[in-house]
Structure 1
Amino acid sequence: MKIIPPLGKFSIKEWCMLISSIFSIFLLMQYHFLFEFVILMERELPYVLIIYHLIGIPIGTIFALKLIYKELNHFTSYLISNAIVIIFFICLIIIDQPWFVPIGLFGAGFSIGIVLGLLYKHFFPIFKETRFAARYFSTAFIFVGLLIMIEAMIDINKNPLLGIIFFILVYISIFIFAILGKGAIIKLPIQESLNISSYIKERRGLLKIGFAFFAGFLWVNIYYVTILFLEKNGLDAKLDIYVIFFCISIMISSFPGGLIADMIGRRISVLIGLIFQASAFLILSFNSQNEFILLYIAPLILGAGLSLSLTTSFLIYGELSEYQYLRDNGALFLAFMMSGSVIGVIIAEIMRPYFLAEPTYLTVVLLFVFILATIVIIQMRETLPTKAVVKWEKPTEKISEEDLELYKEQKICLVCKGHVGGFTFTFICPKCDVLYCEKCARSLANRENECWVCEHPIDESRRVKHPDKRKEELEIKETPDKKKKI
């Protein structure tokens, strides 16, 4: 198995759009892990006010689903929304009035909510490459961690002008790479509006909602509670040190985490991440006044846990989405995720007097939540391709009629050569009647999405053709004399 994913899977335009999207993801990640706490600390306001930004994101996504995505050009919306986010950040740095802080936090969160669904469209090339997708995603988070660490070292409170220049440079990067990558997402099927009420009523939809909710709850709650411990011990002024070690951990653990997700499974990667997070909290519970543990050890363990669970959670949701609903599914994922984050902050504030006095109270609650989250994760469908699909590439030569008849008579999966039928799900190609077991059928649908015999789509809702054929079609269309291929 290749450890380093191939770079040639994407075109130059796709790479540019992906790089632009990485800078955009950075805006969301640094907002939660650093920027809002720095602003609230400087204004001497309570940290619970981060709830304004967490509420703003789901409201922004719903606004985008109902209006922006239906009425406005997506590319223009992406650039404008990112620009508004930067403007709110700069205003929060410049305007030192406490009354503006809730407005600025909500406004930035609202604008980020509009961007999120569009980012899922931009990551479409990665979602297609399921064999390497986790490593591509985790590599992106390495650069996100590096950017957050640079921002922490700038120290916006002491160097506001440098902070403003930094954010302007980030937007320039988003804009330039987006312009260079414009047109890269034309291969994505036309996006259709998702019926939200039907989505919520379906069992699969409820599982996704539960998954997103717990991902958001644990993402915010654990980090937020750690900040409260820092505040209690008078260490919140050293937040930049905490964040730097947190980002170092993300940068070190992201790629190994992606490798685990690509080799063993997405769900396993998320569960390992949860174990790391639980371990970090157990250590904090028994060492809540130890400066070395709080500033150096806890962020290293917590960063490793979040890099495994959070990045893979983003990936799972994209891979589970039907491609024509990728944008709306991505937006809803972040909306429900941030709803879980809001509940996480509320519970942390309600229990604050108890767990600051006796940290074991919160440990019991969080372990209960971890158990519930584990149950939901286990129920989610694994999106990693089966070993059979990875090992048995599509045959280059036509499969003989005799072999096909044998596979049909003996009820053998064409990919893994295992027996199908009985009480297990069997996919039968509607065009040529070839049999596939459930795992191989789902894995093929996530890859080239075509039958190995007749090339009929495995999942007709996606209709995504094999990459080589797409290139071939484009070459034919671009031929000057427009000669037809014989």
Structure 2
Amino acid sequence: MTFLMESWKVLQTKGFKLIAGILAGSFSYFINFFLAIQILEEFGLNLVWICVNFVGVVLGAIIFIFFSARKDQNIVFLVSLTTLIGSYIGLHLLTQAWLIFVFLSLTGLSLGHIFPIISGYAKEVYIFPQYLGKWQYLTNLVSFILITIYVLLYLKSNTFGQIIFILFLYSVALLAYFLGHNQMHISKNSTSWRKFLKGVKMKKRYWILLLLAGFQISNLFFAAVLIIDNDPIFSGDEFLTNLGTYIIVLFISSSIFAIFAGMLYDSIGRRWSMGLGVIIMGIGIALMVFFIGNIYVYLYISPAIMGIGFTFLIPGATMIVPIELAPKKNYPIQFGINFIIQGTGMSLGILFDYLLMQVITIGENSIIFLFSQVFVYLLMPYIIFQIPETLPSKEELRWQQSVELLLVISDSGLPLYSKVLRKKKFQADLSLTSGVLNGVMSITEAITSRSTLKTIKQKDYCIMLEKGKYATLAVMTEYELTTLRNQMIEFLKEFEEKYEKVLVAWNGDNNLFSSVYRLVVKYFGLRSIFVHRQAF
């Protein structure tokens, strides 16, 4: 019930911007991948040229980090999405082969900008880590369904339908974007090469996971492309039809298991869920090895199994874990770095399969080709279990039950508002308590020359502090919890926005804050609030 309530709150407050982000994400690697292969095949070009697109992603992310991140992110998103859609339409309608490389480059550059921004949207929206798996996989389910529809339109020989479908999704994304224009604000960011390289070095294991995840995305599809395109058991005239069948089966399978994967991510943990995905994908590859040359295994059974592994592994490695490990500040830069690494991995996956094909004859030695794919499955589990588990602890999941007292303090150290959130007698004078806390924070900042004090820990409880522009929020709780910290930040932000005029010229009248309880209910999810009678 709580999951549904929180999901409804998210849709009410940030739903339109989230919809725009989901649709933009649907125009990602998968629609992009099939369209690029489709056009290269129709013009008789070597399929390895799809690398132009993935190199474009890397360059786009670099440009985003050092230039576009400093601009208005709403405008960057709109321009990038429009450029992406224009390039897709251009690929469908072009008549000159050289234009393929222009449009593939533009799609890559656009995706290199879009991915960090929609990752930022996800960071802003998914503030409850105990629901992140379910929320992420609901959005993935939408993307999987849209990708399946797009490829089905190709199989129906309906190029016009593909164009209309893309334009329809673009129109909905634009409408959602404008309706939700003010729902989320991704702040401008900037960095330097020194900070950029330092960030990459500090998170080496995490970057290796992203590199291998990117490698696995492209390797999963391009290995299938090469087998379907070169193995004698397939008809050369039906290459795109067979590839379309493979992709549809894979994403139908992914769609069926998406919700279950999200539930598993929020129960057994991120690492074990990703590890399970690696094992399942390995089984899919093994079936192709043991049933070499079996068209039904290649086009139906193997992609169905690999689709299950895909939905467990890839969204977690490329979205859930990166969102949770990203810093609270400057995270668009972090996401830009993510997609530089991931795009590099995808390019390497394409080149690896292509170079391997030059020394192995698909068909006669397909078993060698397939076994060569196994090495990444041996590396992935090791890397996965080197990164920290990001599933919240039991204390995080029950954060509401640990909160005992909420106190809002003015800059002068006087209590503005207080609430007892659990049935417990507090004998302390809150006016004195407010002054003491305010004094401790000021002294700590003056002595250490560091940022404001965040937590005061005692044996049986701790006091979490969050300082704003006009006020400080203090929460007495049993544990110091990340989820609670996020709620405190959001609460204080809205509190100061709503009461800014009152706070600037406050005359000591606490009755001016009598309606704050609505914010308490909103951000701390409590229906039964007990008033502290001695607050003022």
Q: TM-score, normalised by structure 2?
A: 0.75
**C-alpha deviations, 1:403-424, integer Å up to 9, x for none?**
xxxxxxxxxxxxxxxxxxxxxx
**Helix, strand or coil for the counterpart of 1:96?**
coil
| 2:66 and 2:190 in contact (8 A); partners too | no
Residue 453 (structure 1) aligns with: 476
Report whether the alignment pairs 1:321 with 2:344: no
Report whether the alignment pairs 1:465 with 2:488: yes
| 1:84 and 1:111 in contact (8 A); partners too | yes
Specify the code of the residue in structure 2 equivalent to 1:397: R
Deviation at 1:218, TM superposition (A): 1.0
**Helix, strand or coil for the counterpart of 1:346?**
helix
Residue 377 (structure 1) aligns with: 384
Match of 1:208 among 206, 209, 214: 206
Count of aligned positions: 443
Residue 445 (structure 2) aligns with: none
| Stretch moving more, 156-165 or 293-302 | 156-165
Matches within 5 A, 1:48-87: 48-70=48-70, 72-87=71-86
How far apart, in 2, do the equivalents of 1:364 and 1:242 lie? 20
**Helix, strand or coil for the counterpart of 1:123?**
helix
**Helix, strand or coil for the counterpart of 1:381?**
coil
How far apart, in 2, do the equivalents of 1:339 and 1:13 lie? 36
Specify the code of the residue in structure 2 equivalent to 1:59: L
Higher radius of gyration, 1 or 2:
2
Residue 360 (structure 2) aligns with: 354
Match of 1:298 among 295, 298, 302: 302
How far apart, in 1, do the equivalents of 2:49 and 2:221 lie? 15
**C-alpha deviations, 1:174-210, integer Å up to 9, x for none?**
1110111112224x677554721111222xx112211
**C-alpha deviations, 1:26-84, integer Å up to 9, x for none?**
111333442112112222222211111111001000011111111x2110110111000
| 1:5 and 1:136 in contact (8 A); partners too | no
Sequence identity percentage: 19
Deviation at 1:161, TM superposition (A): 2.5
**Helix, strand or coil for the counterpart of 2:402?**
coil
| RMSD (Å), alpha carbons | 3.1
Report whether the alignment pairs 1:338 with 2:343: yes
How far apart, in 2, do the equivalents of 1:289 and 1:131 lie? 44
How far apart, in 2, do the equivalents of 1:355 and 1:455 lie? 64
Deviation at 1:228, TM superposition (A): 1.2
**C-alpha deviations, 1:369-402, integer Å up to 9, x for none?**
2222211110111111012332453333287799
Match of 1:432 among 456, 474, 480: 456
Deviation at 1:288, TM superposition (A): 3.9
TM-aligned CA distance change 1:236 to 1:257, over 3 Å: same
Specify the code of the residue in structure 1 equivalent to 2:346: S
| 2:73 and 2:188 in contact (8 A); partners too | no
Residue 26 (structure 1) aligns with: 26
Deviation at 1:162, TM superposition (A): 2.3
Specify the code of the residue in structure 2 equivalent to 1:369: V
Deviation at 1:124, TM superposition (A): 2.1
How far apart, in 2, do the equivalents of 1:189 and 1:98 lie? 40
TM-aligned CA distance change 1:249 to 1:456, over 3 Å: closer
How far apart, in 2, do the equivalents of 1:318 and 1:134 lie? 11
How far apart, in 1, do the equivalents of 2:353 and 2:276 lie? 24
| 1:39 and 1:93 in contact (8 A); partners too | yes
Residue 274 (structure 1) aligns with: 278
How far apart, in 2, do the equivalents of 1:434 and 1:149 lie? 55
Residue 409 (structure 1) aligns with: none
Q: TM-score, normalised by structure 1?
A: 0.83
Report whether the alignment pairs 1:236 with 2:264: no
Q: What are structure 1's unaligned runs of at least 5 residues? A: 403-428, 442-449
How far apart, in 2, do the equivalents of 1:196 and 1:231 lie? 40
| 2:57 and 2:111 in contact (8 A); partners too | yes
Residue 39 (structure 1) aligns with: 39
How far apart, in 2, do the equivalents of 1:302 and 1:26 lie? 20
**Helix, strand or coil for the counterpart of 2:388?**
coil
TM-aligned CA distance change 1:334 to 1:96, over 3 Å: same
How far apart, in 2, do the equivalents of 1:381 and 1:435 lie? 27
Match of 1:485 among 502, 513, 516: 513
| Stretch moving more, 78-87 or 163-172 | 163-172
Deviation at 1:340, TM superposition (A): 0.8
Specify the code of the residue in structure 1 equivalent to 2:239: D
Specify the code of the residue in structure 1 equivalent to 2:339: L
TM-aligned CA distance change 1:355 to 1:252, over 3 Å: farther
Residue 397 (structure 2) aligns with: 390
